[in-house]
Amino acid sequence: MKDLKALGAQADLQLPRIAVIGAQSAGKSSLVEAISGINVPRDSGTCTRCPMECTLTSDDTWFCQISLRFDYDESGTKQLSKDIKFGPVITDKKDVELWLRRAQAAILSTRTPPSAFYGLSREDIRNAIKNDATMAPFSKNVVCIDIHDPEATDLAFVDLPGLIQIGEGIDLIKELVEDYIAEETTYILVTIPASDDIQNQQALKLAEEADPDGNRTIGVVTKPDSVVDGDIGVKERWQNVFRGEAEDHDLLHGYFCVRLPNDQERSQTQSRAHVHERACRFFDSVAPWKDVSDRSRLGIPGLVAYASSLLMARVEKDLPDIKKKLEQLLARYGDQLSMVPPPLEVDPALEILDRITKFVNELTATVNGTTSENKDFVQRNRATYDWYNLAIRSTAPDFRPIKEYTKYGRPFEPGAEDSDNTFEDVEGVAQYETMDLYAVRKVIQENKTWELPYNVPYDAKKALIRKFVILWAKPTNACMDGIWEILSETVTELLKSHFGQFKGLEARIGQYAFEILEEAKTSAVATVNACLNSEAGRFYTENIHYYSATRSKWLYHYHVLKRYPDWYTGGGAGVPFSTKSEHIASATEQRALQALRELGYGQLEREDLKRLHPPDAFEDELIVMADVRAYFQVAYKRMIDFIPLSIDNKLNRAVVADMQRHLFEKTSLGSAEDLKRLLDEDPAITKARNSLQETIVQLKSIQKRLNEFMSREI
């Protein structure tokens, strides 16, 4: 685990570990000293300002090596771990504390190289931390202490800064502790002063939040000699805790109690055996500790042995999962690296020409819909044209040849099924005003000049036609804008895909490409406007057969509606004309036609029956309605074909036809040096590639070390 952490494995893998947490005055430093056998820095106020990771290994001789592990950069962002040896191999325990002070100062410094701290005294370090503005008050980077000791039990733990209630860094320390203990592979060793109320221990509350079931938490009671004879309630509480009868804070791994040297005892150089002997005498003679049945729960050796076996078992259990996770990470980062463009290795001019060719080929395939991967461009264009069809269709004249037409719904086209409401409104598109017979008569009257009687002015029909033609400009322009937006977005995406590795090249080719787009847009807009002007300037059709047939249907339709308004279902606008009623009328008319044929009146049609009625006072108005409505059918069908075809030919197809020639001509004007500058890679891509490559190298180093260990164990 030590080797894997040194290689930076903790950044990507949750490695088993023990985190020691507690309040600033909870005896945490004394506990760390008792476990490690070394003295750690002590000062008034906060002294531990970064995590200190301690690894104890049983060995023939005592020595210590300190190193610095930088998992975070100056801004606090995670980075590839850098493990740096700090100072010489230490062979005298008395030198460790000063070197730890120097190491912590080096971790806190954001600008000074670590070696600059080698010769600093205790006072120099205190002044630097207090007065140097370039030093961070706290850091997430780690001081690593690798101790080889003949008296040690194999163990690894990380000592976190003590939790404080007031002063600088309250939130930062709390966040650091929470980050460490949140991982499921971290055992939480919580120091709790014996004289304090267990309910008010912030460290224990944080542990309970991270480990609500108490499966990863170990309670360590410190300062047992602070409980005096008169603290009867305190003694009873701890008796219950060590019997496993605590009402709350029940922990799977239970509690330990340690008696640590006080300041006077620390000043005396004493062996571990002597410290342990003194603690045993205390536990054997003082209540409530003398009544604890499980004596392995009292003293440093029992705690260390339990924690060591717990950590070893977890490491052994997690190794296969760590190996599997490592393989998954390598595969994931490998996939990410494969998505990053490789560095350029060919002649700049050839590279640019090759990229232009591939860009134009993909753009052409996209516009023509021949690419097998993505049909989105064509489908978005067709959806826009479908909308345009509905928008133009929704401007159809709304003639109502009945009185009080607001009581009835909008009519269908003649012969339409009930479900085909061809008068569907389209949001944002203005509709033709509803006009009854009197409104049409008014238009006729307004346009009369010197016509003979019984002649309807042609200008009246032109005025009614112009009402729907002028409504076509807005949806037509919206259609043009929509197709332009789709094309622009598509070209921008393809530019990024083919040239995005080189921002200068992407900008330059983008500039040239949009010159073609703008030119094609100008031509397309001119064609569309010419079509609109043509429709508004002269009303004409050679499609006489369709116009005549449609006119006859609408004239008959308007006669029927005028004569039988009740064939509408009542209720208001939008209620469709009843085709059932029309079917009934048709059956009646067929019987009448059959009777007339039998009387010798020849082969008559439905429309001939209207001549049997007396002249209609609104016959001219009905004819005008039919003429205008029939012309709408002719003109709108012309528009919904011609406008999409014009846009597609003048914009989309014109762009792909001229793009390659234009780009080749423009880029050929640049010098060799200019082309080379255009291929300066985007720094973000270079950084991403380098980061992924470094990460993969690091993970492979971790994998190699893990495989070596597991094969040795096998």
CATH number of 2-326: 3.40.50.300
User: For 338-342, 376-380, 577-581, which range has the lowest pLDDT when averaged over its residues?
Assistant: 577-581
502: nearest Cα among 354, 676, 371: 676
pLDDT interval class at 612 (50, 70, 90): confident
Percent of the chain topping pLDDT 70: 89
Kindly give the residue spans of alpha helices, DSSP state H, lying in 198-299: 202-210, 232-242, 263-267, 272-285
Please check the confidence at residue 176 and state whether its pLDDT lies above 70.
yes
Checking if the pLDDT of 127 tops 80, the result is yes
- pLDDT range class, residue 585, cuts 50, 70, 90: low
Q: What does the pLDDT read at residue 598?
A: 83
Q: Please name the amino acid found at residue 26.
A: A
pLDDT at 357: 94
What does the pLDDT average to over 167-177? 84
Distance CA 405, CA 572 (A): 8
Q: How far is CA 404 from the centre of its chain?
A: 57
H-helix or E-strand spanning residue 144: strand 142-149
| Residue 575 confidence class, pLDDT cut points 50, 70, 90 | very low
Mean of pLDDT values over 160-179: 84
| Angle, alpha carbons 327-332-337 (nearest 5°) | 125
Concatenated DSSP letters of 322-349:
HHHHHHHHHHHHHHHHHHSPPPP-S-HH
The C-alpha atoms of residue 581 and residue 384 are separated, in whole angstroms, by 37
Q: 574 falls in which pLDDT band (50, 70, 90)? A: very low
Task: Give residue 5's pLDDT.
Answer: 66
Q: Which two tokens stand for residue 626?
A: 């039919």
- Residue 186 CB contacts under 8 Å (≥ 6 apart), including other chains: 14, 16, 17, 18, 19, 180, 216
CA pseudo-torsion sign 33, 38, 40, 43: positive
Which residue, 447, 557, 534, 505, is CA-closest to 677?
505
Q: By CB neighbour count within 10 A (0-12 exposed, 13-18 middle, 19+ buried), where does 61 fall?
A: exposed
Is the pLDDT reported for residue 142 higher than 50? yes
Beta-strand pair 142-149/155-159: unpaired
pTM for the model: 0.55
Q: First vs last Cα of the chain: how many Å apart?
A: 17
Question: Distances from the Cα of 518 to the Cαs of 485, 487, 491, 712, in angstroms?
Answer: 12, 11, 12, 69
CA dist 113 and 106 (Å) reads 7
Nearest-CA neighbor of 66 among 11, 135, 147, 132?
147
Instruction: Look at residue 564 and give its three-state secondary structure.
Output: coil
Omega before residue 288 within 30° of 0, cis:
yes
CB 465 within 8 A of CB 536: no
Q: How much of the chain, in percent, has pLDDT values that exceed 90? A: 38
Please check the confidence at residue 269 and state whether its pLDDT lies above 80. Answer: no
Domain spans of the chain, in order of start = 2-326, 355-666
pLDDT digits (tens, 9 = 90+) for 88-102: 999 998 999 999 999
Residue 685 token pair: 């891509």
Whether the CB-CB separation of 54 and 147 falls below 8 Å is answered with yes
Structure confidence at residue 476 as a pLDDT band (50, 70, 90): very high
Q: Which residues pair with 514 in a beta bridge?
A: none
C-alpha gyration radius of the chain? 45
Instruction: Return the C-alpha torsion angle 694, 698, 701, 702, nearest 10.
Output: -160
**Phi, psi at 52, each rounded to 5°:** -120, 110
Phi and psi, residue 273, nearest 5°: -60, -40
Helical spans, DSSP H, in 427-472: 437-446, 458-469
* pLDDT for residue 567: 62
- Cα separation, 88 vs 304, whole angstroms: 28
* Contact criterion met (CB below 8 Å) for 225 and 259: yes
